[in-house]
Structure 1
Amino acid sequence: MSDAALPPLTIVEVQRRVGEELTRIGPVIDELGARFAAAGEELALVGGPVRDAMLGRLQNDLDFTTSARPETTEKLLAGWVDAIWDMGRAFGTIGARIGEWQVEITTYRAETYDPSSRKPDVEYGADLTGDLGRRDFTVNAMAVSVPGRGFEDPYGGLVDLANRTLRTPGRPEDSFSDDPLRMMRAARFAAQLGFEVAPEVVAAMTAMAGRIEIISAERVRDELVKLVCAPFPRLGLSLLVDTGLAAYVLPELPALALERDEHHRHKDVYEHTLTVLEQSIDLESRLGGGPDFVSRFAALMHDVGKPRTRRFESGGVVTFHHHDVVGAKMTRKRMQALRFSNAETDAVARLVELHLRFHGYGSGEWTDSAVRRYVRDAGDQLARLHILTRADCTTRNQRKADRLRRTYDSLEERIARLAEQEELDAIRPDLDGAQIMEILGIGPGPRVGAAYKHLLELRMDHGPMSADEAREALITWADSHPDTRPGQ
């Protein structure tokens, strides 16, 4: 996947796309606008929906801004929409569902942040121009008033969008002081839209990077997920590193720029990591869905243990022994700090810890037992481990790359063959706990677990056994491991 800049848009093309989108959503926006106009209120489609209409990105989530206060908005929607929710009432927002459409209608706002606060102080604004001026970027500060469909662009968002440039409506320092998360949103929009960030915006992000510390971990996490799952994540990640923001939100990433990898294939491990991320994205169609955060974040974090494990050996050799294990612990700690779920944290950390395991396969010397253990240790992350391991090959030596690919093809074929023969994805001992207790004549306790573990190792080493073979193996183990502790 390339993060090369996309070509500029023409104004004619933008206007054509907007016209088509307004026709598509017309039945909703026109009637909604008429309801507000009849009540003497203003209503305008605003922000992302207007921007995405110009980019040809269809959506059914529509954002509006209005002169009406939330209680008035709620009354105007009542009896017409299918459902209403008011979780955002404190911020002036009322949500509703109208058939297949999701709408959010927010009262004109003037929003500022206290320098020491994580939450905005919300004040209602007086007009549309003022509301647009408090938005993050000019491409999100355009509106279409309804029902008349008049285009409002007081800050030059149309030109910036045509040039694929991110710029703030006012001074970027003021915008980022009001909401420091907007600095991360700049990186996220660069990754999502392939836009270039204006130099003055980059300068403000660099000067104010430390302000991101007042933002809650959950909000930072959500922006990071959107960035990593975007079409051009390298653009956003590079911006975070270059401006110093990454040092606060994901410090393991810029730390990689200080390390050269052991094969000198890239100028540093940081560049290698971004390449692995891109190659992982190219392979994620194997998972059968859209952008996969776990797979992408594992690619991003797979080498974060290298700075802590770097050692200089004789002859100028640099090693990173056990960086997989160290990296997994670092990954877990960072994801916990960012309030990721336990499931996501466990999945990514496991992939980081296992990403080097394949290299013990050599030219296919692993026994079937070793292949079974590889599958068991990967668990439900096996498909993602296949992707990460393949993506981690970034050598420019085509012969070596081809050899590694063929070797991994061989491993996957062996896994598939064993899986067909042995139900490999659900490896268990040939006897369960109840059967073990019955055969040995014991009750629940540690001895059952020890026997279970022994049978599982036999299963891994030798494959499936018959019931009689498993029974004999269990009795043999019990005879050589007499129960010496009472009550077991």
Structure 2
Amino acid sequence: MKQHLQHPIFNIISKAAGKTGVHAYVIGGFVRDLFLQRPSKDIDIVVVGNGIAFAEQVAAQLKVPVSIFKNFGTAMLRYHDLEIEFVGARKESYRSDSRKPIVENGTLEDDQKRRDFTINALAIALHPENYGQLVDPFGGVADLEAKLIRTPLDPVETFSDDPLRIMRAIRFATQLNFQIDDTAIQAIKANTHRIKIVSQERITDELNKIILSPKPSIGFELLFDTGLLKVIFPQMVDLYGVEIIKGKGHKDNFYHTLQVLDHICETTPDLWLRWAAILHDIAKPATKRFEEGHGWTFHGHEDKGARMVPKIFAQLKLPLNEKMKQVQKLVQLHLRPIVLAQEIVTDSAVRRLLFEAGEDIEGLMLLCKADITTKNEYKIKKYRNNFELVQQKLKQVEERDQLRNWQPPVTGTDIMELFGINEGREVGIIKQQIREAILEGDIPNEREAAINYTIAKGEQIGLKVVANRKLE
């Protein structure tokens, strides 16, 4: 493995190890990614002995500062674009009510046993006497070749000790497109209840990594099949299944959602657009109705879904900020471009869509394109052609009317000054009329035209322009 340790940092660590007689190993994800030929900037060094003291010696040699975390027995330093963490070899034991281990000093073998998966237990020696030697006691290289996620020890014990490893197993399977070993799958199913001892923040962090994978449906199907999704995100499980009445069924909204999610991942790496894809139909179970002579309907699912977004974000400890509002807006509006694509596209309808979507209009169009999951080639072609027309109209209207993130050309303060009135009902009425006139195309989105319109509308309701009052 010597030829794989190209970066000069490994020679520096090796010299320090030889000088001090310390046996140090690069271990974990960096070694795994070497075999997978994936770039990695995080290096974990395990030391048989005092990891902090060894880190200080390496930092002194490199002339860089070192951060020490005594409570965790670790030290970290940065060297160029690398982040290097040092820790003493340890063995761990667990209590049933906590995923925080009781830690003792240990051997390299002890340290490899405590690792979550065989592919993350690989180590390469850095001491000069055995530099570059691979230490692979659990067949991690063979599992990499077989594309298999396995635990070094009994998976029931591994997942029970630290249930976050369940999420990590599914996350690695999704990111790497690996299979999870059958015995590990059974152990996950037996331990889904244990996930409740893990903080929601850690669970959601792993869930987001699954969502950011090239094909997140792999992870969501594993979460669903093992029963874990029911525990961590029950609203999504409610989408599953098809009900049939009088020979009429609806599509399975769970698998439809996974298709939409995979589709949008082909066009954007944005986490929040991916969350919008996950939540776009989240209210369909709550709005599902069977109508005689028509079939299944989901009227208002976009409105109810938008109202559900804040509660789901709070439940999953996702940020309750502008990102949440963005997802909420996309859920609320996700049917609008589809409706436009089915009808004659009027300038007025496009203006309203631009007004409501604002800066999220491109994301909304990506979501709507991803939402086309029909297998009917004629329908796919028709929708795509119509979407192109909608997008052309959006561009034309935006260039002409500048309605994205629209600010009214005449404000409430302007109206009060113009007519010498205080804030009240009349101001609100006129503001609404100006907005509607611009959106309908009755007047251009320009200040002079809006002022003239304001004067006319004010006079209609008995208001008079204040003498000698002129608005710039």
**TM-score between both structures, scaled by the size of structure 2:** 0.90
Question: Aligned pair in 2 of structure 1 residues 311, 404: CA closer, same or farther (>3 Å)?
Answer: same
Question: Aligned pair in 2 of structure 1 residues 81, 331: CA closer, same or farther (>3 Å)?
Answer: farther
Partner SS for 1:416: helix
Q: CA contact under 8 A between 1:241 and 1:254: conserved in structure 2? A: yes
Q: CA contact under 8 A between 2:148 and 2:181: conserved in structure 1? A: yes
Instruction: Please point out which of 407, 419, 426 is paired with 2:405.
Output: 426
Q: CA contact under 8 A between 1:47 and 1:139: conserved in structure 2? A: yes
Q: CA deviation at 1:267?
A: 5.7
Aligned residue identity for 1:310: K
User: Where does residue 294 of structure 1 map in the other structure?
Assistant: 272
Instruction: Please point out which of 207, 210, 219 is paired with 2:193.
Output: 210
Shifted more, 428-437 versus 237-246: the winner is: 428-437
Matched, 1:180 2:160: no
Q: Higher RCO, 1 or 2 (CA under 8 Å, sep at least 6)?
A: 1
Instruction: Please point out which of 275, 284, 287 is paired with 2:259.
Output: 275
Aligned residue identity for 2:64: D
Aligned residue identity for 1:201: A
User: Where does residue 85 of structure 1 map in the other structure?
Assistant: 67
User: Where does residue 192 of structure 1 map in the other structure?
Assistant: 175
Matched, 1:327 2:327: no
User: Where does residue 360 of structure 1 map in the other structure?
Assistant: 339
Partner SS for 2:38: coil
Q: CA deviation at 1:255?
A: 1.8
Question: Aligned pair in 2 of structure 1 residues 437, 49: CA closer, same or farther (>3 Å)?
Answer: same
Matches within 5 A, 1:112-261: 112-117=93-98, 120-147=100-127, 148-259=131-242
Q: CA deviation at 1:434?
A: 4.7
Question: Aligned pair in 2 of structure 1 residues 116, 448: CA closer, same or farther (>3 Å)?
Answer: farther
Q: CA deviation at 1:34?
A: 2.2
Aligned residue identity for 1:138: T
Q: CA deviation at 1:345?
A: 1.8
Q: CA contact under 8 A between 2:52 and 2:87: conserved in structure 1? A: no
Instruction: Please point out which of 10, 35, 38 is paired with 1:54.
Output: 35
User: Where does residue 470 of structure 2 map in the other structure?
Assistant: none
User: Where does residue 81 of structure 2 map in the other structure?
Assistant: 100
Question: Aligned pair in 2 of structure 1 residues 38, 379: CA closer, same or farther (>3 Å)?
Answer: same
Question: Aligned pair in 2 of structure 1 residues 445, 91: CA closer, same or farther (>3 Å)?
Answer: farther
Structure 2 segments unaligned to the other structure (5+ residues): 464-472
Instruction: Please point out which of 411, 418, 423 is paired with 2:390.
Output: 411
Question: Aligned pair in 2 of structure 1 residues 466, 236: CA closer, same or farther (>3 Å)?
Answer: closer
Mapped to 2, the partners of 1:264 and 1:114 lie a distance apart of 52
Aligned-residue identity in percent? 34
Aligned residue identity for 1:109: R
User: Where does residue 468 of structure 2 map in the other structure?
Assistant: none
Matches within 5 A, 1:302-381: 302-315=280-293, 317-341=295-319, 342-361=321-340, 363-381=342-360
Shifted more, 173-182 versus 298-307: the winner is: 298-307
C-alpha distance after superposition, 1:244-274 (max 9, x if no partner): 0001112122222224699989862222111
Q: CA contact under 8 A between 1:258 and 1:268: conserved in structure 2? A: yes
Question: Aligned pair in 2 of structure 1 residues 50, 264: CA closer, same or farther (>3 Å)?
Answer: farther
Mapped to 2, the partners of 1:413 and 1:71 lie a distance apart of 61
Structure 1 segments unaligned to the other structure (5+ residues): 1-17, 285-290, 484-488
Q: CA deviation at 1:407?
A: 0.9
C-alpha distance after superposition, 1:292-350 (max 9, x if no partner): 21122211221121111111121471111111122223333122111111222222222
Aligned residue identity for 1:84: V
Q: CA contact under 8 A between 2:275 and 2:327: conserved in structure 1? A: yes
Q: CA deviation at 1:444?
A: 6.4
Question: Aligned pair in 2 of structure 1 residues 173, 459: CA closer, same or farther (>3 Å)?
Answer: same
Q: CA deviation at 1:162?
A: 0.8
Partner SS for 1:424: coil
Partner SS for 1:339: coil
Q: CA contact under 8 A between 2:2 and 2:132: conserved in structure 1? A: no
Mapped to 2, the partners of 1:37 and 1:449 lie a distance apart of 79
Aligned residue identity for 1:332: P
Mapped to 2, the partners of 1:274 and 1:159 lie a distance apart of 31
Q: CA contact under 8 A between 1:350 and 1:378: conserved in structure 2? A: yes
Q: CA deviation at 1:177?
A: 1.4
Q: CA contact under 8 A between 1:218 and 1:339: conserved in structure 2? A: yes
Q: CA deviation at 1:475?
A: 2.4
Question: Aligned pair in 2 of structure 1 residues 386, 112: CA closer, same or farther (>3 Å)?
Answer: farther
Mapped to 1, the partners of 2:343 and 2:293 lie a distance apart of 30
Instruction: Please point out which of 15, 31, 36 is paired with 1:34.
Output: 15
Matched, 1:469 2:449: yes
Mapped to 1, the partners of 2:217 and 2:2 lie a distance apart of 33
Mapped to 2, the partners of 1:62 and 1:378 lie a distance apart of 43
Q: CA deviation at 1:198?
A: 0.3
Greater Rg by CA: 2
Aligned residue identity for 2:166: M
- Divergent runs of 4+, >4 A: 260-267, 442-451, 480-483
Matched, 1:45 2:26: yes
Aligned residue identity for 1:149: G
Shifted more, 273-282 versus 396-405: the winner is: 273-282
Q: CA contact under 8 A between 2:345 and 2:390: conserved in structure 1? A: no
C-alpha distance after superposition, 1:196-240 (max 9, x if no partner): 000001001111111111111110110001001112312111110
Mapped to 2, the partners of 1:307 and 1:271 lie a distance apart of 14
